[in-house]
Structure 1
């Protein structure tokens, strides 16, 4: 086996272990969601349909593997730009992005972590009728302080100058963020407003060949409508690819 193949195998094993750790399929913490099995269920954890008590992500293995593959693709293809996640919860997906960069010794990109770190906003039904009746803001489980997310990065030895945090509502933080170009844009804002605010500010910065990933497209009608409205308004016809029961992605032409 060549040295190059050995290095690639080591990278693969590191990133696989990182995904296992982020989803906590190693110690199998129980589900905290008001639905699904009360204990640990490998199927639910794999497809991101439970709320882990202690794991650092709730998006599941399939969406994490897709994110890993997208980041590795932009590295391999030389697509310029940083990586950003809008809606980070405990930071797991952003930690994985930083881990992929570290595994490939990529030092010229930043991982931006955008979140209120206080949960989701109450619905502005007048401006965004698609969010009428949305109750995400009432769920305390979704509010994770910035200090905890930073500490989670540090647990993997991935908190460094290549990670920057944007605390606050997207409508306030994203327009002023010093992000010039993006290779990967990952949206996990659940609501129409949060998805729309991220798209209008950040999607135009995605380089050709870069990826837009949407966590809740199939799961939350308001999120899907925001994506469809944006794509229609801006004439984006790149095929939407399904990841699992919730997530999708497309590659910018």
Structure 2
């Protein structure tokens, strides 16, 4: 793994660009604190996860590479693609060629509540046009950073349809950003068995009740006791130890 000043400077600049931090004063309604915590829905930036969660992703990718934890990186629910763009930039900057970045999204926004998951009945996320980002737009965003190549695999469709056959045998980083109970449960059910020991599960929207309920139900059903670690006001993660 490369760990030189130039590599770290590139990755820091990449984060600043994805989060639009360099030009924050030109983004309507943006504040430094909200962008730090990922509390705003950016008009321009390519990610809404904020600096703290982006730094957390960077830290966990460093850990799996340094400790040779095998597997690909995946995000479920990518919006404009910023976190996945950073994943791809990280792998390229470190010369890692044997891992893919899987980009899973409907590219049509969030699903309507599924009667099979009554807890989601009050969800209005499917009405939010702002959350609908098309596949061509996300591809274009990758291209803007010169990071669209054969190391990026797009999985278009609802998680329940795409994740059971996701083209990966092992996962080192699973970053779940599905907001709802159904989306979170579909991702955990289909991906967690592939997460390598020593790999990480990141839950972006743990502060949302639907999402947290799915996390707790899944962990209880599978006797997962690995501690949940708080990232910021919204996100948590855990390391798979067995």
Same fold flag (TM > 0.5)? yes
List aligned pairs for 1:223-234, cutoff 5 A. Answer: 223-234=211-222
> Which runs of 4 or more aligned residues in structure 1 lie more than 2 Å from their structure 2 counterparts after TM superposition?
none
TM-score normalised according to structure 1 size: 0.93
2:153 counterpart (156, 164, 188) = 164
Distance 1:236 1:40 in 2: 38
Distance 1:81 1:114 in 2: 16
Query: Cα deviations across residues 83-111 of structure 1 (Å, max 9, x unaligned)?
Result: 00000000000001111111111000000
Distance 2:101 2:89 in 1: 10
Q: Secondary structure at the match of 2:70?
A: coil
Distance 1:172 1:184 in 2: 21
TM-score normalised according to structure 2 size: 0.97
Count of paired positions: 240
List aligned pairs for 1:20-169, cutoff 5 A. Answer: 20-28=16-24, 29-31=26-28, 39-124=29-114, 126-169=115-158
Distance 1:100 1:70 in 2: 11
2:165 counterpart (152, 176, 186) = 176
Q: Could you say which residue in structure 1 is the equivalent of 2:198?
A: 209
2:8 counterpart of 1:8: no
Q: Secondary structure at the match of 1:26?
A: helix
Unaligned runs of 5+ in 2: none
Range that drifts further, 126-135 or 145-154? 126-135
CA RMSD, aligned part only?
1.2
Unaligned runs of 5+ in 1: 32-38
